[in-house]
């Protein structure tokens, strides 16, 4: 049963579908809901780090349903809206997104869509009522519905491409690094001699969606993506590989190659050469922070707050390569009861931490963090408050990240792992500066107005220094900034 949530970080199915469609170039979302439903998503996203898509915010067509549409039904309003959308807004594919309202009222949207498709217009619809599920549900269902309907609209023959790989599982804007991650995956698949069929962002469009049926394989990173990949499997016999996470580093790249080789033919020597180069590159860059690893004690006790895929990827890497011990992992996207997916990553997660929780309630998360004894938190901007209270550094890796812009920075593959480590070391160093300031103020006797000589008389100075990391008074720290 789902409960009340404090500071929910996941939007609803409509939001998931909306941010999925708006990142497909050439696709135009048409929101059949009251005026503000889509805007809520826009306002939440624009505070985040990803910038705006071409069809975002107030450029998105929508029926802006009014009371009369709730009472008498909104189908005729929707018909008028679709017809006019095609006349006003440029697009190769129009995707109608149905909301709570339209579901509760029971509008026959399918009939509307059929009618307009019969006229030769590229329109699909999907029901993504907010009360039916979250962002990830919206992502999976809208993609599945589009892939199911595309053939009926564009009617093209199958031309299999043995090098083409569909990429599923990275939810646009939900993964703060989604754009960079897709670019990195594309680069890696190119390195294997394959072609990535990416649907979103700078390198994806409606064309890639149309081409998805011709792929040699669909690869699903994380379970969110199983559904659309299965549609392609059932309709066009495109095999599916499900990976628990995106590749974290050169090792992950190697594992990905092994998994792919089971289904597509790879040039082994080419792949080996590529991976050797990746390893060499990664090692020689990370070599530069070897001193920091020891001097700042980076094998810390940590807590991770984020999505399952990130926990497996980032958590696994930090544990295996940096000796980080995870005293708590909180999965913010996992469902308490998941009947839709076959993937179960329980064992993988258990290998990273003994304490794996499912939570997206801020109070619950904060309580877990309080009890975790973590010296560093890998989480989102929503953990800033608790990190401040616990006086531990926060490395922002999961959604939402606010107050910064992330355009094509990646957190996966060799490039991603390098930027992750950059971030980790930077945050720890910044924290160290603060720690030194506090130490210096203690030495100067600012705290409590006592001089350090006075305090030395009361209790040993070294005693005081050892308690620095436990300073509870947050105000004191902010005064130091």
Partner 1 sequence: MSFLEERKALTREKRLSALSHFHGTLEGLIDETSGAEIKQRIRTFSQIHVDETIYAFNVLSKIEDAAIIVNGSIGCGNIGLSEIDEAFGWYSTNLVERDTILGGDDKLREAILRAYEEQHPKAIFIIGTPVVAINNDDINSVILELEDEIQIPIISIYTDGFKSKTPVTGYDIVTHSLLKYLVDKEPDKTEDFVNIISFSEDIEDVAAIAKSFKAIGIDYQVLPRFSTIDEIKAASRAKATVVLNPEEGDYLAKELEEVYDVPYIVSEAPIGFRGTKAFLLKIASYLKRENEAIRYIEEVEARLQKSISLHLLDGKNVFVDVSLSKVPAISRFIEKLGGKVVGFGAPLVDLDNRKQLLKLDFLSKGTTAVIGNGQYFEKANALKKGEVDIYVSEFFGSSFAADEGATVVSTRNKAVYGFDGVYALYDSFVKAIRLTNKISNDDNSNYKLSWKSKSGNWYVKQEVS
Residues 374-413 that bind partner 1 (CB under 8 A): 381-382, 384-385, 388, 400, 402
Residue 88 CB, shortest distance to partner 1, in Å, is 5
Residue 92 CB, shortest distance to partner 1, in Å, is 13
How many residues in the shown chain lie near partner 1 by CB under 8 A? Answer: 75
Per CB under 8 A, contacts with partner 1 among 262-281 are: none
Residue 81 CB, shortest distance to partner 1, in Å, is 6
Nearest to 214 by CA among 241, 187, 232: 232
Examine residue 332 and tell whether it contacts partner 1 (CB under 8 A).
Answer: no
Residue 471 CB, shortest distance to partner 1, in Å, is 18
Asked if 147 and 373 touch (Cβ cutoff 8 Å), the reply is no
Per CB under 8 A, contacts with partner 1 among 74-133 are: 80-81, 84-85, 87-90, 99-101, 104-105, 129-132
Asked if 165 and 196 touch (Cβ cutoff 8 Å), the reply is yes
Buried b (16+ CB within 10 A) or exposed e, 154-190: eeeeeeeeebbbbbbbbbbbbbbbbbbbbbbbbebbe
Residue 419 CB, shortest distance to partner 1, in Å, is 23
- Measure Cα distances from 312 to 171, 245, 358 in Å: 16, 6, 14
Identify which of residues 142 and 189 has a Cβ nearer to partner 1 in the complex: 142
* Interface with partner 1 (CB under 8 A), residue from 13, 27, 171, 330: 13
Examine residue 10 and tell whether it contacts partner 1 (CB under 8 A).
Answer: yes
Per CB under 8 A, contacts with partner 1 among 23-82 are: 31, 33-44, 46-48, 52, 54-70, 80-81
SS (H, E, C) 323-384: CCEEEEEEECCCCCCCCCCCCCCHHHHHHHCCCEEECCCHHHHHHHHHHHCCCEEEECHHHH
Examine residue 11 and tell whether it contacts partner 1 (CB under 8 A).
Answer: yes
What are the structure tokens assigned to 24, written together? 């497909």
Examine residue 241 and tell whether it contacts partner 1 (CB under 8 A).
Answer: no
* Interface with partner 1 (CB under 8 A), residue from 122, 134, 228, 379: 134
Q: Which residue has the tokens 């900034």?
A: 481
What are the structure tokens assigned to 280, written together? 């060499």
Residue 3 CB, shortest distance to partner 1, in Å, is 7
- Measure Cα distances from 118 to 62, 111, 113, 124 in Å: 22, 11, 8, 12
Which residues are CB-neighbours of 234 under 8 A, at least 6 positions away?
none
Rounded CA gap, 262 and 253, in Å? Answer: 15
Per CB under 8 A, contacts with partner 1 among 341-370 are: 362-363
Examine residue 9 and tell whether it contacts partner 1 (CB under 8 A).
Answer: yes
Kindly write down the DSSP assignment for every residue of 403-425, as one continuous string: SS--SS---SHHHHHHHHHHHHH
Residue 360 CB, shortest distance to partner 1, in Å, is 9
Residue 54 CB, shortest distance to partner 1, in Å, is 7
Examine residue 320 and tell whether it contacts partner 1 (CB under 8 A).
Answer: no
């Amino acid at each position: 049963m789902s409960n009340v949530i404090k500071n929910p970080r996941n939007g609803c199915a409509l939001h998931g579908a909306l941010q999925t469609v708006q990142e497909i170039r050439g696709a135009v979302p048409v929101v059949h809901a009251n005026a503000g439903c889509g805007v809520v998503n826009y306002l939440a996203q624009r505070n985040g780090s990803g910038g705006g898509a071409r069809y975002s915010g107030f450029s998105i067509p929508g029926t802006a349903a009014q009371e009369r549409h709730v009472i008498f039904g909104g189908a005729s309003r929707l018909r008028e809206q679709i017809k006019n959308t095609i006349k006003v807004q440029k697009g190769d594919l129009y995707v109608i997104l149905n909301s709570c309202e339209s579901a509760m009222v029971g509008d026959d949207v399918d009939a509307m869509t059929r009618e307009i498709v019969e006229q030769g217009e590229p329109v699909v619809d999907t029901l993504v009522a907010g009360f039916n599920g979250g962002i990830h549900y919206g992502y999976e269902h809208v993609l599945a519905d589009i892939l199911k309907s595309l053939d009926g609209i564009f009617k093209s023959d199958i031309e299999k491409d043995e090098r083409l790989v569909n990429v599923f599982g990275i939810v646009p804007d939900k993964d703060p690094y989604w754009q960079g991650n897709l670019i990195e995956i594309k680069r890696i698949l190119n390195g294997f001699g394959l072609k990535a069929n990416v649907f979103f962002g700078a390198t994806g469009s409606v064309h890639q969606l149309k081409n998805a049926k011709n792929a040699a394989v669909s690869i699903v990173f994380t379970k969110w993506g199983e559904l659309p990949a299965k549609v392609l499997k059932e309709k066009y016999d495109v095999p599916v590989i499900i990976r628990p996470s995106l590749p974290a580093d050169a090792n992950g790249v190697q594992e990905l190659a092994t998994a792919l080789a089971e289904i597509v033919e790879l040039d082994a020597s080419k792949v080996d050469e590529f991976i050797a180069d990746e390893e060499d590159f990664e090692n020689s860059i990370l070599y530069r922070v070897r001193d920091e690893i020891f001097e700042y004690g980076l094998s810390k006790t940590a807590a991770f707050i984020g999505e399952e895929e990130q926990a497996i990827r980032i958590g696994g890497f930090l544990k295996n390569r940096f000796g980080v011990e995870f005293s708590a992992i909180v999965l913010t996207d996992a469902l308490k009861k998941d009947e839709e997916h076959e993937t179960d990553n329980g064992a993988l997660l258990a290998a990273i931490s003994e304490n794996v929780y499912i939570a997206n309630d801020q109070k619950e998360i904060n309580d877990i963090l309080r009890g975790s004894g973590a010296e560093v938190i890998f989480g989102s901007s929503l953990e800033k408050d608790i990190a401040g209270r616990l006086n531990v550094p926060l490395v922002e890796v999961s959604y939402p990240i606010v107050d910064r812009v992330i355009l094509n920075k990646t957190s996966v593959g060799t490039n991603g792992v390098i930027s992750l480590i950059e971030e980790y070391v930077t945050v720890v160093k910044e924290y160290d500066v603060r720690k030194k300031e506090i130490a210096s103020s203690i030495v100067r006797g600012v705290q409590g107005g006592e001089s350090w000589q006075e305090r030395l008389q009361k209790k040993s100075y070294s005693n005081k220094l050892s308690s620095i990391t436990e300073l509870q008074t947050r105000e004191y720290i902010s005064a130091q900034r």
